Chains A and B, each alone.
Chain A
Amino acid sequence: MKEKLLLGIFFILFSGIAAGCGNGGGSGNSSEDAVELEMYSWRTEDRSAYEEIIAAFEEENPDIKIKFNPFEATEYNTILTNALVSGTGPDIVQLRPYTGARTIADNGYLVALDDIEGLDNFDETYLEAAQGSDGNTYGIPLSLNIGLIYYNIDIFNEYGLEPPETWDDFIAVSQELKNNGVTPLSVGGREAWLLSMLHGVITPTAYGGNDFVEDITEGEADLTDPRMMESLDRMEELTEYIADDFMALDDADSTALFYTEEAAMYVNGDFQLEVLENSNPDLSIGVIPGFKEEGSDDPLVMNWVDGSYGVVEGTEHEEEALKFMEFMASPEFGQLFTDNLTRVSAVEGVTASHDIVKQIMEASEANSTPYLMLVEYGLGSPSTKGIFEDGLQGMYLGEITKEELLEQSQENAERAAEEGVEELEMIEEDE
């Protein structure tokens, strides 16, 4: 009697566990006629905005439902990789720009989108953010990120300063602020990526902007180029105008220095605008989108594509997913995106209602240069961008010289390129 009871308890317990495990797998087809597409993203904070945008799409396409499924940004890469490799994945996925998207595309996990209507709504260079090594486009670029110098209009007015237009102006303004006991610039040096960002915003006019980028892409120049050294000279010259002990400040610290009006200027992406406005509604924010090159009327703005969306190869609902891609490439989507998220859409011809967003959008359309480190040097593990920005920390801390920094970066770039070729060969062999 007793053992039967024990056995009974065991089976009840065990079947409970087994059933619990089983439930996860069977989702997917909803009972309605509508096709449900699952969409992965790393923008948990944008859920409500996305849902509004998706609602607009569903209204036009009542037979398609889209389930927006965002994950923590720091976990996203791992989750996406697992989903793709195991083949239990979503239909539409958000792709990390440049190297991130290229690796996934090269491994054959994505549907080529070259025939999508509306692809010509994008600047050629933006499409590069989601191209495979074969040159096909695998993702619809979503938003542009723009690196900026934010400045405090009140502080500038107090000392009768104009927003600087060139590097020389910038140094003059910074010196003036410093003389008056104001911290000119706030940078969170403890987070290395902010130093890459600083380099990208401050130095394009030092390394010769798009000419140098072109030389890099064509293999005619590398990171040990004297022009690159000039950009580091500029980074070094900047040191005395950055907040004290900036190597001990993180992103939040340096942001706080700016919105509590202790520092007059602050370098970060346009995506920080909302944070600044929310943190101190009384702050009078102005932006300097970049410096002017000699003989140019427009400042050179550093921008890059922040993620794009692609369709997973082998999805049962490719046709419907492609329809959504078409929607994402349309000016209608771009407008909705800009309105709902105060971000810069990658679709051309969208207008922003927010003054600052409008200003940077126009500046970026007039004259822009890619974020050199992210666009050209994202390859490898560790990536050259990582080596470079960690090296900038080393430079500011006096651990390595500028020459060593550039040598190490170039060395890593060559290693990463070799690795990239090897990986491609492995994939081809596999096929």
Chain B
Amino acid sequence: MAKNKRKNRYKKHLVHLFILPAALIYGVFQLYPLISAALNSFYSFNGFERVDFIGFQNFITLFTEKPYKDFFLNAFSHNWIYFFVTVITQLIISLILALIIHSKIKGKEFFKSMFFLPKLLSVIVIGFLFSLILNPTRGALNTLLEAIGLEAFTRPWLGDMSTALLSVIFVDSWASIGFSMLIFLAGLQAIDKEIFEAARIDGANSFTVLFKITLPMIGPALMIMTVLTFIGSFETFEYVFAMQGSSGGPYYSTDVLTTFFYRLAFGTVDGGQAIGLGSAVAVVLFIIIGMATSLILFVFKRKDFER
């Protein structure tokens, strides 16, 4: 008996060995870059290699010296705009879509896959397609607006300071709407139908059902999607880069923290690299996301307790 037990324990520990390859890959490709980026932000660079430990100097430069502080604030404000607009264009709309699909309409499955389809396309392809659609003279959008008599609304969408960022956010939302819709749909489907029936019998109208039952019941899905949207809005890079380039043009009107980071850390084709400063941006970004995510979770969790 005793021998068998020992054997069992040995077997149990043997299993742990199997995470070693995954742990190694995680360590090399996730942990190591994370730690080295954090370390880099405390060093000066000679354009190539780490030279001296300089404490918080990179952070001080970032927040106090021109042009960095202006770039940082500008990009930071764009990230916030990105977040708030995405909440409307992606979260709220996808929630409405999920509610519609969850109701008794025909062709549910068809719409579900249609809304999810853009997620399967590569970002570069989407960026390219929308650059064509938003082209001021030959683009489909302006052509359509002209055809239906709305010439007054035609814009050089991606070349106008006031519309460029919104256009990029719209494209991002268009591509990602299917994913958040699916999360909400899963939440909706998990609610017991009897609850709705009971509410109806008690005389609740549709609005009461929506605000008193449906939304509270999909609280976890809302929480996850708010957190993911926040992280997504602050880490956003691909759509800005694919459509407006690393300088977040025109004239930095679509510049976000990640493109600012990219320009510093990797340099432009003809500019130099500032790896220390770039890493400082990355660390600040990490802290912002970490703090805001905890705050959002805290708010949602507290609501949970109240209930």
Q: Is A175 an interface residue (CB 8 A)?
A: no
Min CB distance A351 to B, Å, is 30
Of A6, A378, A399, which one neighbours B271 at CB under 8 angstroms? A378
A247 at interface by CB-CB < 8 Å:
yes
Assuming the contacts A381-B267, A382-B271, A399-B251, asked whether A191 and B245 have C-beta atoms less than 8 A apart, the reply is yes
Do B159 and A249 have beta carbons less than 8 Å apart? yes
Point out the residues of chain A lying under 8 angstroms from B279, CB to CB.
Answer: none
Q: At the interface, yes or no: A132 with Cβ under 8 Å from chain B?
A: no
CB of A358 within 8 Å of the partner chain: no
CB-CB < 8 A to A397: which residues of B?
Answer: 160-161, 250-251
Known: A10-B18, A399-B251. Is A103-B48 also a contact (CB below 8 A)?
A: yes
Task: Report the minimal beta-carbon distance from B286 to chain A, rounded to whole angstroms.
Answer: 21
Are the CB atoms of A382 and B159 closer together than 8 Å? Answer: no
8 A Cβ contacts from B17-74 to A = 17-18, 20-21, 44-49, 51-52, 65-67, 71
Contacts of B136 in A (CB 8 A): 244-245, 248-249
Contacts of B134 in A (CB 8 A): 248
Set of chain A residues within 8 Å of B252, measured between Cβ atoms: 390
Question: Nearest A residue to B264 by beta-carbon distance?
Answer: A381
Q: Mark B94-128, 1 if CB is under 8 A from A, else 0.
A: 00000000000000000000000000000000000
| Chain A, range 226-255, C-beta contacts under 8 Å to B | 243-250, 253
Nearest A-chain residue to B20, judged by Cβ: A14
Centre residue among A379, A380, A393, A415 by max chain B CB count within 10 A = A393
- Kindly supply a per-residue 1/0 record for chain A positions 372-409, scoring 1 wherever the CB is within 8 Å of any chain B CB and 0 otherwise: 00100011111101110011011001011000000010
* Structural contact, B159 and A78, CB atoms closer than 8 A: no
Rounded to whole angstroms, the CA-CA distance of A14 and B71 in the bound complex is 47
Q: In the assembled complex, which residues on chain A have CB atoms less than 8 Å from the CB atom of B156? A: 245, 247-248
Q: What chain A residues lie within 8 Å of B247 (beta carbons)?
A: 192, 386, 390
* B117 to A: closest C-beta gap in Å: 26
Residue of B nearest to A424 (CB): B46
Given contacts A245-B137, A426-B52, is CB(A411)–CB(B66) below 8 Å?
Answer: yes
How far is B131's CA from A412's CA once the two chains are assembled, in angstroms?
Answer: 32
Is the beta-carbon distance between A393 and B52 smaller than 8 angstroms? Answer: no
Q: For B270, give its contact among A99, A106, A248, A423 (CB under 8 Å).
A: A99
**B270 to A378, Cβ gap below 8 A?**
yes
Which residues 239-257 of B sit at the A interface, judged by CB distance below 8 A?
244-245, 247, 249-252
C-alpha gap A280/B17 in the complex (Å): 62
Q: Are A381 and B158 in contact (CB under 8 A)?
A: no
A7: B residues at CB distance < 8 A? 14, 17
Judged by a CB distance under 8 angstroms, whether A55 is at the interface is no
Residue numbers in B under 8 Å from A81 (CB-CB): 48, 273
Q: How far is the CB of A70 from chain B (nearest CB, A)?
A: 16
A17 in the interface, Cβ–Cβ < 8 Å? Answer: yes
Q: Is the CB of B269 within 8 A of A73?
A: yes
**Band of interface residues on A:** 35 or more
Q: Are A393 and B267 touching (Cβ within 8 A)?
A: no
**Cα of A66 to Cα of B18 in the assembled complex, Å:** 43
B165 vs chain A, min Cβ distance (A)? 13
* A contact residues around B263 at 8 Å (CB): 381-382, 386
B47 touches A423 (CB 8 A): yes
Contacts of B274 in A (CB 8 A): 381
The answer, yes or no, to whether B214 is at the interface (CB within 8 Å) is: no
**Are B159 and A247 within 8 A (Cβ)?**
yes
> Do the beta carbons of A10 and B17 come within 8 Å of each other?
yes
Looking at B65, B269, B272, the one whose CB has the most chain A CB atoms below 10 A away is B272
Q: Are B270 and A190 in contact (CB under 8 A)?
A: no
> Is B250 touching A247 in the complex (CB atoms < 8 A)?
yes
Whole-angstrom CA separation of A408 from B136 in the bound complex: 30
Taking CB atoms, residues of chain B closer than 8 Å to A423 are 45-47
B67 to A100, Cβ gap below 8 A?
Answer: no
CB distance from B6 to the nearest CB of A (A): 12
Give the residues in chain A near B294, CB-CB below 8 Å. none
Given A96-B269, A245-B137, A386-B268, does the pair A85, B18 have CB atoms closer than 8 Å? no
Across the interface, which residues of A come within 8 angstroms of B250, CB to CB?
A: 189-190, 192, 247, 393-394, 397
A336 within 8 A of partner (CB): no
Identify the closest chain A residue to B274 (Cβ): A381
Known: A387-B67, A423-B47. A245 touches B268 (CB 8 A): no
For the complex of A and B, list the 6 residue pairs with the smallest distance between their C-beta atoms, beginning with the closest. Answer: A248-B159, A383-B271, A248-B156, A247-B159, A245-B156, A245-B136
> Which residues of B does A touch, CB under 8 Å?
7, 10-11, 14-15, 17-18, 20-21, 44-49, 51-52, 65-67, 71, 131, 134-137, 156-161, 244-245, 247, 249-252, 263-264, 266-274, 277
12 pairs, CB–CB < 8 Å, chain A vs chain B: A3-B11, A10-B14, A107-B48, A109-B48, A189-B250, A247-B250, A379-B272, A382-B71, A383-B271, A386-B271, A390-B252, A426-B51
Q: Which residues of A contact B (CB under 8 A)?
A: 2-3, 6-7, 10, 13-14, 17, 73-74, 77-78, 81, 84-85, 96, 98-100, 103-104, 106-107, 109, 189-193, 243-250, 253, 374, 378-383, 385-387, 390-391, 393-394, 397, 399-400, 408, 411-412, 415, 423, 426-427, 429-430
